[in-house]
């Protein structure tokens, strides 16, 4: 798999504003935030896209969601609400081919559109 910027962030070769870390999951602020809170939650193992998640990685994906839940609470946006987004491949506008959840909130978001 081609090396991604997120692999460099995991290895601390690129700086990032890390907000959460455990042995399997890392979360850091998006470099180009789309809302007051915009955090990327990633697995430490390299998984390119949603299509590449294996059945044995179901717990890992659950951990990513629970990390997002925890970060949302810490950011103070849990009650008002937020959005978790995963883009996949070209039609999904995925830019970085290392699986990530976008945790987006801190303002009223527009309804999700097909475009």
Residue with Cβ nearer ligand 5GP (10 or 16): 16
Number of residues in contact with ligand 5GP, rule: CB under 6 A?
A: 13
The rounded distance, in Å, linking the Cα atoms of 105 and 103 is 7
N residues, the chain: 115
Collapsing DSSP to helix, strand or coil, 38 comes out as strand
**Contact between 49 and ligand 5GP (CB under 6 A)?**
no
90's CB contacts (< 8 A; 6+ apart) are none
Least separation in angstroms between residue 79's CB and ligand 5GP is 25
31 touching ligand 5GP, by CB under 6 A: yes
- 102 annotated active-site: no
Q: Least CB distance from residue 92 to ligand 5GP, whole Å?
A: 8
Subset of residues 72 to 91 that bind ligand 5GP, contact rule: CB under 6 A: 87
The residues near 83 (Cβ < 8 Å, ≥ 6 apart) are: 102, 103, 104, 105, 109, 112
Active centre residues (catalytic): 100
Residues that bind ligand 5GP (CB under 6 A): 5, 14, 16, 28, 30-32, 40, 87, 93-96
């Amino acid at each position: 798999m081609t090396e991604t910027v997120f692999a460099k962030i995991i290895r601390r070769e690129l700086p990032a504003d890390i907000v959460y870390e455990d042995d399997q999951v890392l979360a850091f602020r998006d470099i180009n935030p789309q809302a007051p809170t915009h955090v990327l939650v990633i697995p430490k193992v390299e998984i390119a896209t949603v299509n590449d998640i294996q059945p044995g990685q179901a717990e890992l994906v659950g951990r990513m969601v629970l990390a997002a839940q925890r970060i949302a609470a810490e950011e103070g946006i849990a009650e008002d609400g937020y959005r978790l987004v995963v883009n996949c491949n070209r039609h999904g506008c995925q830019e970085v081919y290392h699986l990530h959840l976008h945790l987006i909130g801190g303002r009223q978001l527009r309804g999700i559109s097909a475009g």
